[in-house]
Amino acid sequence: MTNQATFYSLSPELDKFEFSSKLASQLWRKQQTQGENAIPLWVLCDNQAALNRIDDLLWNHQKDSFIPHQIIQHYTEFKPENQHIIISMAMPTPQWEGIMINLSPYSINQFKNNNIIEIIGNQEQEKIIGRECYRRYQKLNYTITHHKI
């Protein structure tokens, strides 16, 4: 896996957390078809309110379905055999491999193989942080994709 960063710039009518939970759900469903080749999915939040919001949205994503997810406080709680979405304010270990939806204001570059998804909301500060992350990933030679949603 090569280092990849995918940016989603949201239109004003979209909520960052609702979009992120739907994306996490779609990625999780897609991973379930991969069997043993499934890649773990980590949602990194920067505060408790964001973590709780993602948790609530995943619980209530659809009335007739459940998206398995777990809140962990420390990376040592992560079990690779668990095929569900991890929601945390903690970073995984540097050896961790998987897909990370980054809802924090920091660029991520400490993992063995990175597949980072950055969700850029509508606030000017979020756009500034998104641009900084974009430049940092460019300097680190990530393959970058950008989608305006």
Range ranked top by mean pLDDT from 7-21, 54-68, 79-93: 7-21
Global pTM value: 0.88
Mean pLDDT of 56-69: 79
pLDDT recorded at residue 72: 86
Is 90 exceeded by the pLDDT of residue 103? yes
pLDDT recorded at residue 146: 96
Residue 45: which region, alpha, beta or left (left: phi > 0; alpha: psi -120 to 50)? Answer: beta
CA distance 68 to 76: 19
Per-residue pLDDT band at 1 (split at 50, 70, 90): low
Domains of the chain, earliest start first: 4-148 (3.40.50.10110)
Mean pLDDT of 117-130: 93
65 vs 148, residue with greater confidence: 148
